[in-house]
A = this chain, B = another copy of it.
Amino acid sequence: MYFHRQELQHKSKPSKPDALFARRLQEVLGGQYGEITVALQYGFQAWNSHLPGKYRDLLFGIGAEEMGHVEMLAVMIAQLLEKTPIQGAEDAAKADPVLGAVIGGMDVQHAIVAGAGARAVDSNGNPWQGSYITASGNLLADFTANANAEMQGRLQVARLYHMTDDHGVRDLLSFLLARDTMHQNQWIRAAELRAEGHEDLPVPSNFPISKEYREASYEYINFSDGAGAAEGTWASGPTPDGKGEFSYRAEPNKGVPMPPATQPDSRFYGTDPKPNKVEKVLGAVKDAVEKK
Contact = CB atoms under 8 A, between A and B. Distances in A.
A75 B261 CA distance: 9
A282 interface: no
Nearest to A115: B137
A95 B211 CA distance: 25
Interface residues of A, number: 215
A189 B233 contact: yes
A15 to B, nearest CB: 12
**Taking the full assembly, how many copies of this chain does it contain?**
6
Contact of A90 (B3, B10, B18): B18
Interface string A250-261: 001011111111
A111 B4 contact: no
Contacts of A120: 40, 44, 130-131, 133
Contacts of A259: 8, 12-13, 75, 79
7 contacts: A3-B224, A7-B257, A44-B74, A115-B159, A178-B215, A189-B233, A210-B290
Given A112-B159, A207-B269, 6 more contacts: A55-B228, A116-B262, A141-B155, A170-B211, A174-B211, A196-B275
